[in-house]
Chain A
């Protein structure tokens, strides 16, 4: 066991019992190179609670059939379960109607869907599409492709040295011929929580719709799309304790209604002749082909599981843990934290001396500590801060201060192994 006893853990008294919550995640007992797993790569994907694992299994054991097709009992059950899950998700994010909840593969597909449909309809030569300097490649490349095809211009909101968008620059950019703003809620590479409410309001004052990449936000607490007043909100199940291969595009009904379908096929039609196809109603118009039914069901379960948690207590707990990790890393000789925004989620990107992050990652892994190293699919961010790559520890609600201590101890070993 590498976990040293902790003495100075400044955790405030909580109603939130992290140990019992950890018990719901079977994978946290896995041994890695003889050490109990210290999983600090939650921004890449989160682990799954038993409820979610069971839900997927139960679906396959008791009701597997195709949806929206058969009249037989199982198909009816599967369809009902699939639609119930959509309803759970609708409720969880505060959408007005289940028509606004489109099942997709994940954030990436959700953004591509909007670029390929809404984008192609509304963005033309000379128009601007706005993103920020901290976006994940999946919120850059689809817009670049769209701009390439239409002759539009991609504008990028610059970042300050702490890793925050410069709002005065944003305001200036919005005064151009902007047709859409696409911005992350929380940056996966820097941990910055963007002031998206204000940013959305600014865009709306000029009649510009906003897509929010919510991939990182959903694991840190509930999001209310009506309160944010966003036009589109994209997220992935696997980063919010749900399964891989399923995600959601929320879109305002009025916008989705006007958009052409994304893909053609079964389920997205009302009637097909060789002359003409009549598209299905929302949200099915955007769900061509047999969907990831089990994934959708288990994602619904994940939102139900999340709704049962005390997010006030967890929010405080996560902020304390982030502070503890930030302080401990700052005290570590040679460590420089990349991303020091005022408002951050539990993500700490850092470099240490001139040790390459991949060497850090390999040595940490031998101590059972899993972090991400590399450019985090955000190469422009790396360029902005003048590093080829970073090491990134990202924390979820089941991480503990003693796991932070394990990270720090293992980083000490990195220095030893690398002869520093």
Chain B
């Protein structure tokens, strides 16, 4: 019997939740921004190193639910080495995927690893969890904001 919860908790999400990538303090980071969701207590710190236009390194620390943690982890792997512009484009694609869901007939493969989050849009209460680290990364690129809150 399936309850539909499996569509949210896909293997990639469980894997990144269990063993998050780039899960450490990044010495010499140029940007350090905190992400906090006061509603559920998800709390992460995201570290960025920039080399001109390129995100040369990214790491994170903190705790929260499986969705927020795996999302931060997957994000760190896909934006590392990308330009700001590419990272922003990924943000836009991810945002669309978790809020609206994939468009009818759209090929999920184009989302790469992000496709694992295609189930989130069916769980409106969890969209904030998925997007938290992404918002934080984006604001880290733009400013020196210290804390990003989803509230």
Contacts and interface: CB of A to CB of B under 8 A. Distances in A.
Interface of A: 33, 355-359, 362-363, 366-367, 373-375, 382, 388-389, 413, 417-419
A418 B9 contact: yes
5 contacts: A358-B67, A362-B8, A363-B5, A363-B9, A413-B3
B40 interface: yes
Nearest to B7: A366
B126 to A, nearest CB: 6
Nearest to A382: B41
Contact of A417 (B5, B63, B126, B129): B5
Interface string B58-87: 000001111100000000000000000000
Nearest to A366: B3
A358 B14 contact: no
Contacts of B5: 362-363, 366, 413, 417
A357 B125 CA distance: 13
A178 to B, nearest CB: 32
A351 to B, nearest CB: 13
A374 B41 contact: yes
Given A356-B66, A358-B40, A362-B125, 12 more contacts: A33-B4, A355-B66, A359-B9, A362-B5, A374-B39, A374-B41, A382-B41, A388-B64, A389-B41, A413-B3, A413-B5, A417-B6
A359 B67 contact: yes
Interface residues of B, number: 21
A396 B123 CA distance: 27
Nearest to B41: A388
B64 A356 contact: yes
Contacts of A357: 65
B3 A418 contact: no
Contact of A359 (B3, B4, B65): B65
Contact of A33 (B3, B66, B125): B3
A358 B63 CA distance: 12
Nearest to B3: A366
Contact of B123 (A362, A374, A418): A362
Interface string B1-28: 0011110110000100010000000000
B71 to A, nearest CB: 13
Contacts of A363: 3, 5, 9
B66 A388 contact: no
Nearest to A413: B3
Nearest to A368: B3
Nearest to B39: A374
Nearest to B69: A356
Contacts of B126: 358, 362
Name which of A358, A388, A389 has the most chain B CB atoms within 10 A of its CB. A358
B33 to A, nearest CB: 20
B27 to A, nearest CB: 26
Contacts of B8: 362
A359 B5 CA distance: 10
Contacts of B64: 356, 388
A417 B126 CA distance: 16
A358 B65 contact: yes
B20 to A, nearest CB: 13
A73 to B, nearest CB: 47
Contacts of B63: 388
A419 B66 CA distance: 12
A188 to B, nearest CB: 17
Contacts of A362: 5, 8, 123, 125-126
Nearest to A360: B65
B41 A375 contact: yes
A417 B40 contact: no
Interface string B33-59: 000000111010000000000000000
A54 B11 CA distance: 49
B128 to A, nearest CB: 10
Contacts of A388: 41, 43, 63-64
A90 B3 CA distance: 47
A417 B9 CA distance: 7
A375 B41 CA distance: 8
Contacts of A382: 41
A359 B41 CA distance: 13
A356 B41 CA distance: 10
B79 to A, nearest CB: 24
Contact of B3 (A367, A373, A389, A419): A367
B40 A389 contact: yes
A358 B129 CA distance: 10
Contacts of B40: 358, 373-374, 389
B66 A418 contact: yes
A389 B43 CA distance: 12
A404 to B, nearest CB: 19
A419 B123 contact: no
